[in-house]
Amino acid sequence: MTGADPGPVLSEHRGVVAAPIGRVRELVLAVSAGEFSGAEVPLVLGDQGDRRVTVTGGPQVLRASVASARVTIEVDREAGWVQARGEWWWCGRFQLAEGADGHTVIHQRTFNLATGPAGRLVPFTVGRTHRQSGKQSLRRLLDDLGTRLNCQTRMLPPTADR
């Protein structure tokens, strides 16, 4: 797999988990085939409530069925990222990096996969809501990791160019 971005970045958010990257990596990059619900659902898919999620394929490229939606999940364990691609225009990626203090920094990015005229319209139409939902997605992930790892988490200020 390549670490190249799958398209232009629509939004980017960052947060910190007060735990070593190895512990965070085990949870965030854990995606395997099977039927899941509740806390067993791969973290990249977010909180699915009581819905059952079916994941097939693997180990690097998987397909998930959530309600009636199909999502492609890609995992690059070596590069430290996992991403979910849905519909025709978006991809959300969680990228892990070791922070200077031994904590883990998580970058959440939403990419525009649309091409042609539609690709130019996405940032002004359906892409607008993903700026806020990307932030909420990272906040939920940080809260979940804080509970699972019994550690503190925090959002970082937005980067200047996003």
Q: Is residue 162 part of a domain?
A: no
Q: Is residue 2 part of a domain?
A: no
Per-residue pLDDT at 1 = 58
pTM: 0.87
pLDDT in tens, 46-90: 888 888 999 999 999 999 988 778 999 999 999 999 999 887 677
The yes-or-no verdict on residue 153 having pLDDT over 90 is: yes
Q: Is residue 161 part of a domain?
A: no
Q: Is residue 77 part of a domain?
A: yes
Q: How many domains does the chain have?
A: 1
Domain containing residue 102: 9-155
Quick one: three-class SS letters along the chain? CCCCCCCCEEEEEEEEECCCHHHHHHHHCCCCCEEECHHHCCHHHCCCCCCCEEEEECCCEEEEEECCEEEEEEEECCCCEEEEEECCCEEEEEEEEECCCCCEEEEEEEEECCCHHHHHHHHHCHHHHHHHHHHHHHHHHHHHHHHHHCCCEEECCCCCCC
Q: Is residue 160 part of a domain?
A: no
CATH number at residue 70: 3.30.530.20
